[in-house]
Amino acid sequence: MPEFSLAQLLGGLAFFSFGLHSAREGLQLLAGERLRRLINRLAGNRFKSFGLGVAMTLVLQSSGATTAMLVSFAGTQLLTLRQAFGVILGADVGTTVVIFLLAAKKFTEYALYAMVVGFVCYLSARRRKVRYFGSVLFGFGLVFYGIHLLVATVEPVRDHPVTMAAFGFLVNEPFLGFVLATLLTALAHSSAATIGLAMSLAFAGVLSLEGAVPIVLGANVGTCVTSLRASIGTDVDARRVAVAHLVTKVAGVMLVFPFLAPVVEFVRNLCAHFHPLVAPVAGHAGLEIAMIHLIFNVGLAVLFLPFLPVGVWIVTQLVPEPELVAQPFGPRYLDPKALDTPALAFAQAKREILRLANIAQELFRSALRLFERDGDFVGIMEEAERRDDKIDTLEKATRFYLAEISQESLTEEQGRIQMALLGVAADLEEIGDTVSKEFVRLGRKRYETQRIFSDIGWQEIIRFHHQVDDLFNLTIAHLTSPTPALAQEIETHKAAVYDSETMFRQAHLQRLHEGLRESVETSSLHLDVLNNLRRIGSKLAHISQLAAEVR
């Protein structure tokens, strides 16, 4: 009779945990930018949000990772608590897919084959997507092989008096089993790991269904620790999302715990009907545990989705708005916790760049005030420099943030997006410099010489400035939500800007030819203003081209 092996037990746990990590990472890379685009289309409709939560967890293979992502979104105002609530409920249901896969005991027999095929795909494939698929297959092979080792480790001691007494005690003390499972899940950062361990014990005949229910409930509560940890040091919206996750789980446990015996009986009868259909691949014990997990999380969705506003109100009362404290200017959306998920990090960076673009446009709109006859040149100049400092701060922070994303974890498409975002930020920073340096220099020259533009020349500069500002509006709209129609409109507007610059330059030269005094005195100043406005238009056109990469 084989003996218990601690090394085999620890090795099984290591294979299982690393396999989940490898499969999750491969799925994220395989999904690529589809995940980011799916997130960007997040709707306020509670049922669409629920479906999005299911989809996100199918990709991330972890409700904790999904909820931690939601914490980042809420902290950067990419979604509201109401939207996040629906996604949380969907994420919890999404985890049942991997749990049902774990219930398929037959899969463990082919685990090594899956690892070999995955390893060959990862090493030999030239296409990245095939390599990512190999990583996923290899990861799931490790997961099932880990379960095989755990079952083999436990089987020799399942009839030992100490083992029987220990698990018999857990059956009689369900709250203790719940607490232990909660702690284990919090340490492992994965409810699937805890439930997978419970399945291994059930496959080995050590853990009964009565003892498994509290463990499943504890695993569901323990996974909230991931999102709670992610919310530490964040703003009130992010903390509310983490608390919402905890509230739903705890509420579900409080409703189920007093009725453990009826729940066990219901699940046992339900699985008795389904097991003949899945018997070729799934063990009966694993099916029962997976069914508990499914029923619990679907029940939470059925309970909370119709009353989502009530849940939002409760969480809002539990986490009230803090007193406002003035904060120094800096990036608002660049969450370091998002760097492990490139799709999310790009969404954060894009949000910060849009904030940068709005500040740059405000600076641009104030540019002509530097040439007003009776304006406060010194005050306007100082305000322009303050705005440019803000642009420089955000551009630098965004650049360093994007640089922290590991190149090895990026797909080719994500690599292009990274470079495009860097290019957009750099172009906006140059627009800020053009106003704060070139326009300020020209404005100081006009202020010191007290020369004034001719009335008609000044009106042409104003018209050209408005035309470039319209291009600025179109560019920001295209950066926010790129469409072929907007891209075509920008191309048309860009051509009109170039034509206008030529037309206004020729009109100025004509006035010089006619000897108009104001035109003669401000000629170089006038042409430099036109040239810099055209230069900004060129930068905006380039940004619109880059925007097509970051949709």
Nearest to 98 by CA among 202, 191, 180: 191
281 — pLDDT class (breaks 50, 70, 90)? very low
Domain interval for residue 21: 6-318
Contact 115, 77 (CB under 8 A): no
Q: Is the pLDDT of residue 499 over 60?
A: yes
Q: Please report the pLDDT score of residue 420 as a whole number.
A: 92
- What's the pLDDT score for residue 435? 92
Q: Are residues 392 and 539 in the same domain?
A: yes
Q: Does one domain contain both 33 and 95?
A: yes
Question: Given the structure tokens 């729940």, which residue do they identify?
Answer: 263
- DSSP annotation of 523: H
Number of domains in the chain: 2
205: left (phi over 0), alpha (psi -120 to 50) or beta: left
In percent, the amount of the chain with pLDDT more than 90 equals: 19
Statement to judge: residues 310 and 431 lie in one domain: no
d(CA 182, CA 243): 16
pLDDT at residue 109 tops 70: no
Domain stop point among 318, 349, 379: 318
Q: Which of 18-27, 122-131, 221-230, 493-502 has the lowest mean pLDDT?
A: 18-27
Q: Are residues 421 and 277 in the same domain?
A: no
Counted residue by residue, the chain has a size of 551
Res. 326 pLDDT band, cuts 50 70 90: low
429 within domain boundaries: yes
Q: Is residue 54 very low, low, confident or very high in pLDDT (cuts 50, 70, 90)? A: confident
Do 161 and 290 share a domain, yes or no?
yes
Out of 125-129, 139-143, 233-237, 497-501, give the one with best mean pLDDT.
Answer: 497-501
Residue 154 lies in a domain: yes
pLDDT at 33: 52
331 token code pair: 């990036």
| Tokens encoding 378 | 């010194």
- Residue 167's pLDDT band, with cuts at 50, 70 and 90, is low
The Cα–Cα gap between 492 and 476 comes to 16
pLDDT score for 42? 53
In a domain, 517, yes or no: yes
Assigned domain for 117 exists: yes
Cβ contacts of 335 within 8 Å, gap of 6 or more: 72, 75, 76, 234, 348
Domain final residue pick, 261, 283, 318:
318
Distance CA 417, CA 429 (A): 18
Highest mean pLDDT among 79-88, 240-249, 531-540: 531-540
Q: What is the percent of the chain where pLDDT is above 70?
A: 76
Cα four-point dihedral sign 344, 338, 546, 386: positive
Stated as kind and residue range, the H or E segment containing 287 is helix 284-304
The answer on 359 and 230 residing in a single domain is: no
Q: Which tokens in the block code for residue 260? A: 């453990």
Q: Flag whether 328 is in a domain.
A: no
520 occurs within a structural domain: yes
Query: Quick check: 68 and 226 in contact, CB under 8 A?
Result: yes
Q: Please indicate, yes or no, if residue 254 is contained in any of the structural domains.
A: yes
Question: Whole-angstrom Cα distance, residue 398 to residue 334?
Answer: 7
pLDDT in tens, 146-162: 766 766 666 665 555 66
Q: Are residues 178 and 128 in the same domain?
A: yes
Residue 166 per-residue DSSP state: H
Do 150 and 50 lie in a common domain? yes
Whole-model pTM? Answer: 0.61
- The gap between the terminal CA atoms of the chain, to the nearest Å, is 61
Name the band, by pLDDT with cuts 50, 70 and 90, for residue 430. Answer: very high
User: Taking 70 as the threshold, does the pLDDT of residue 298 lie above it?
Assistant: yes
Q: Which carries the bigger pLDDT value, residue 525 or residue 158?
A: 525
In a domain, 327, yes or no: no
Q: Is 312 in the same domain as 341?
A: no
Q: Rounded mean pLDDT of 348-369?
A: 91
pLDDT greater than 80 at residue 417: yes
Residues 402 and 308 in one domain: no
- Indicate the range of 57-66, 392-401, 476-485 predicted with least confidence: 57-66
Which of 105, 93, 19 has its CA nearest to residue 287? Answer: 105
Nearest to 104 by CA among 143, 149, 56: 143
Over range 188-204, report the average pLDDT.
73
Average pLDDT, the chain: 79
Indicate if 398 and 527 belong to the same structural domain. yes
CATH code for the domain of 544: 1.20.58.220
> Can you give the pLDDT at residue 323?
63
Average the pLDDT over 108-132 and give the result: 77
Give tens-digit pLDDT for 340-354. 778 778 888 888 999
End residue of a domain, out of 255, 289, 318: 318
94 lies in the same domain as 206: yes
| Per-residue confidence (pLDDT) for residue 60, from 0 to 100 | 56
Q: What is the four-CA torsion angle of 91, 92, 94, 99, rounded to 10 degrees?
A: 150
